Structure 1
Amino acid sequence: MTEILAAARPLIALVGRPNVGKSTLFNRIAGRRMAIVEDEPGVTRDRNYADCEWDHRAISVVDTGGFEPGAPAEHAPDRLMRQVREQAQLAVDEAAAVVLVVDGRAGLTEVDRSVAGLLRRAGKRLFVAVNKMDSGGTEAEAPLSDFYELGFGEVFPVSAEHDRGVGELLDAIVAELQVPRTPAPEELTPLDEREEGEEGEEGGRAPDPDAPIRLAIIGRPNVGKSTFVNALLGEQRFVVSAVAGTTRDSIDSEITYKDRKFVVTDTAGIRRKRSIAQKVELYSVVRAMRSIDEAEVVACLLDASEAGVEQDARLLGLVAEKSKVLICVVNKWDLAEAEEATQAWYRKELAKRLPFISFAPMIFTSAKTGKNVAKVLDTAARLVQQSRARFPTPALNDLLENVQRAHPAPLARGKPVKLYYMAQVGYAPPTFAIQCNRPEAISGDYKRFLENRMREAFGLEVPIRFLFKERRRARRRGKPSA
């Protein structure tokens, strides 16, 4: 279950009462330890997302929380029921499929039945994962027949802890959702070799140059997102307030600028987990995350008084992981200038704290005065042109040859690593397949070096991807195949 970067992934929500193993199952599907897992109910307070791949099919998974501990004992059952139902409803609103996770040791409970009833009425694709079936059926485990009472159809016994049955569950989900297959590198066709308008495996059809540019405005609460959008639109389209968290949902607005159409999305502020207390704020986080998925360009607003704080790093990391075109917008710069701050200082601090987004352009603005606000649209249009661009194969291979001549790939166990051929195989982000003799031996440092040379050669300020694949040796003439 390896991570990949792709768009338009179906979202799968894991729902259930506390302490049934949702976070463990989430970590198992994501392929890495992302959610906090403890043997106590109520640990997960916020949605936790991951983009991942199963059987060459791109999906997203969200781990939903249970309840907040600390409720008065006499009201604990009612509070538990209410909060679990709210969590389930929240997931249902956004998910393409919902997995009800239940505890195979504890058996079917009234809370399970209540959540199942809510899910049935929602009309979503539903699956039951009976977790903690660690020993293949013992007296400590409830019989599977009990869970068929929920009426969801097939029931999937799993052990998230020991990775049993998870594959069968995911097979059923991607089959039901008809998730398209992500091609392996050897199946990718260079753009130069496709017919005009032909659909490509990695990058899809050639982008429509007249299609609106989808621009999402994101950032932590109270950095001035709604004020910024109002300045873009030239009107009070949104409620603006100094109270953090005013925007509760993601709202689209159309705008035409220099004969170019944009769809601008104002999203709710994204907080750290411990800062999220109300259901409405939880819902805002869900919608903001999905807005990033749907956007072609993401403008992340940063506070001019704070360079690269923890919340910014987490949010920018999510944007980078999804390979979205990124613009760093340093807002409230009029206030920073009054304190004698300089752009050089801010750039230096941000590069030191967040080096992984060093390629992204940075714009210093004041949403309050309107200074440099329109520059964000100019920059977005320019970056989209880069992200949708075609790069001629001869130019790519000239660059590859020059790079290797000046700085060959390091030896791997005393053997040379050679890069033979490069071709573009996808758009948005620009994706390049490179044939080489030992793909597994190419270090991360050399990949970053190659990426930097690409950026210098073509002036790129957008995410780019490399797919390294081994070149198949041609069969000698006159020699029968093995």
Structure 2
Amino acid sequence: MKPLVAIVGRPNVGKSTLFNRLVKRRLALVEDVPGVTRDRHYADAEWGDRAFTLIDTGGFVPGEKDSLLKQVREQAQLAVEECDAILFVTDGRAGLTAADQAVAELLRKSGKPVVVAANKLDSESVQVQALSGEFFRMGLGDVLPLSAEHALGVNGLVEALLDKLPPKKEGEDAEKKDDDAIGIAIIGRPNVGKSTLVNALLKEKRVVASEVPGTTRDPIDSTLEYKGKKVVLTDTAGIRRKSSIAHRVEKFSVVAALKVMERSDVAVLLMDATEPAVDQDAKLAGLAEEKGRALVIVINKWDLIGTDQRRQEAFREALKHSLKFVGYAPIVFTSALTGSKVEKVLDIAVELAEQFRYRAPTPQLNRLLEHMVDANPAPIVAGKPLRLYYIAQVGTAPPTFALTCNYPQRVPDMYKRYITNQLRKTFDLRVPLRLLFKERPGQAKRVARKRLTLKSKPKSKSGKR
């Protein structure tokens, strides 16, 4: 494992800006308002020949009574407990506050090595004035001037941090991203239980879960091993209708959530059992289909409805009718709060991830094509018969099939659906499929040659060819 470094401090001192600066890419949301970051956010960083993992945390407010802020503080405390070193960020312009001193007291008790940074100091004169002595009263050693936004003092800060890390272990740099890991994005409207589901799947309190809508803002990755498979779960911000997105931070969160879905293999669309499928649920399902992601529809809070099997089947049928454009997607009824059937979500997601990368044998595909055409002949288009000659799989994630035919632009949607359904049935695929229709090689030349032949034929005496 790479060494872990936790970035802590009170709200709005620039922790996420520093996090992005150190990992050299914009991963955490940054906004000039307190409380943007709420969960632990992990990312790898490399400086020189040393690699380490950074943990961005929410604003640390000791003694906070508010339930949501209390959970944010708990997440920061967990980061402090698991890390090897701490980056304690303060606001150099605001000076030392009582909240800074309280955080410093907790960090001293942790016994972990600490590097203190006074952030938001953009010039030498400001630095000298700000570091006149008050920050040293915290008793945590030297205080390093920094402007994370303008990259001033970052190199010195990293050097001080590297000195605090445990000695480099043999093979530490050998860690690589596992390309075989299954990416699962948990998506849904606000307050349907996404973070609670992630915690239930991980069997630990990994992300902040609250009844307050919009608690999650950053997409949060969590890794687990499940039945021999490496799985990366990503909790995302609740996605509302555009007209409901009032705050700029939430707009950023929604964009980030959609990007997470694009890079995942499977989207788990979480819905609230106490509310019928709404327009926004349908739009999210449509986005998963549009992006070509495998989809699991999970009905959460089913414990509030009951155990009546007939009621569950009626709910399932109504859902399939309202979301018939993703009728292939499996539906699971769970309770993230009680843990009922949450493992089934992982079972199905792992199975769909395999289907997402499935590759069908070409000979079997062409036997299927022959059977399809015999059972349901291709229609007449523009007064001429549509002929399908050949099929081959040309891509995965999602499975993509190319069919060679004489009129690729005129294949009716109804016949496309027929082909798609037959492919699903034959290969037991419950993921999005893509069909491409193309002409036979040399088709344009053959048509041109035929036209030329007709023009060159001599006319008969009657004026007919």
Paired residues of 1:423 and 1:432 also in contact (CA < 8 A): yes
How far residue 473 of structure 1 moved from its aligned partner, in angstroms, is 4.6
Distance 2:178 2:353 in 1: 10
Corresponding residue of 1:363 = 332
Corresponding residue of 1:445 = 414
Match of 1:278 among 223, 243, 247: 247
Match of 1:462 among 413, 417, 431: 431
Distance 1:442 1:358 in 2: 22
Distance 1:398 1:445 in 2: 21
Q: Which amino acid aligns with 1:233?
A: L
Distance 2:342 2:215 in 1: 21
Secondary structure at the counterpart of residue 379 of structure 1: helix
C-alpha distance 209-281 of structure 1, shift in aligned 2 (>3 A): closer
Match of 1:393 among 353, 362, 365: 362
Written as runs of structure 1 = structure 2, the 5 A alignment for 1:21-60 is none
1:298 aligned onto 2:235: no
1:436 aligned onto 2:381: no
Written as runs of structure 1 = structure 2, the 5 A alignment for 1:212-361 is 212-337=181-306, 342-361=311-330
Distance 2:189 2:435 in 1: 31
Secondary structure at the counterpart of residue 396 of structure 1: helix
Distance 2:252 2:178 in 1: 34
How far residue 210 of structure 1 moved from its aligned partner, in angstroms, is 6.7
C-alpha distance 212-233 of structure 1, shift in aligned 2 (>3 A): same
Q: Deviations over 1:101-159 (max 9, x none)?
A: xxxxxxxxxxxxxxxxxxxx89xxxxxxxxxxxxxxxxxxxxxxxxxxxxxxxxxxxxx
Secondary structure at the counterpart of residue 250 of structure 2: helix
- Give % identity: 53
1:383 aligned onto 2:389: no
Written as runs of structure 1 = structure 2, the 5 A alignment for 1:177-192 is none
How far residue 306 of structure 1 moved from its aligned partner, in angstroms, is 2.5
Paired residues of 2:265 and 2:356 also in contact (CA < 8 A): no
Written as runs of structure 1 = structure 2, the 5 A alignment for 1:145-160 is none
Secondary structure at the counterpart of residue 384 of structure 2: coil
Distance 2:334 2:187 in 1: 15
How far residue 472 of structure 1 moved from its aligned partner, in angstroms, is 2.9
Structure 2: gaps (5+ residues): 1-149, 152-176, 453-465
Q: Deviations over 1:384-425 (max 9, x none)?
A: 111112211110000000000010111112210010000111
Written as runs of structure 1 = structure 2, the 5 A alignment for 1:114-129 is none
Secondary structure at the counterpart of residue 467 of structure 1: strand
Distance 2:267 2:258 in 1: 11
Structure 1: gaps (5+ residues): 1-120, 123-207
Q: Which amino acid aligns with 2:400?
A: T
Corresponding residue of 1:374 = 343
How far residue 251 of structure 1 moved from its aligned partner, in angstroms, is 0.5
**How many residues end up aligned between the 2 structures?**
275
Distance 1:413 1:465 in 2: 25
Distance 1:453 1:339 in 2: 33
Distance 1:389 1:407 in 2: 26
How far residue 339 of structure 1 moved from its aligned partner, in angstroms, is 8.3
Secondary structure at the counterpart of residue 389 of structure 1: coil
Greater RCO between the two (CA within 8 Å, min separation 6)? 1
Distance 1:316 1:271 in 2: 13
How far residue 459 of structure 1 moved from its aligned partner, in angstroms, is 0.7
Q: Which amino acid aligns with 2:210?
A: S
Q: Which amino acid aligns with 1:397?
A: N
Distance 2:282 2:200 in 1: 26
Corresponding residue of 1:160 = none
Paired residues of 2:185 and 2:233 also in contact (CA < 8 A): yes
Paired residues of 1:307 and 1:349 also in contact (CA < 8 A): no
How far residue 217 of structure 1 moved from its aligned partner, in angstroms, is 0.3
Distance 1:266 1:241 in 2: 14
C-alpha distance 210-278 of structure 1, shift in aligned 2 (>3 A): closer
C-alpha distance 244-442 of structure 1, shift in aligned 2 (>3 A): same
Q: TM-score, normalised by structure 1?
A: 0.54
Q: TM-score, normalised by structure 2?
A: 0.56
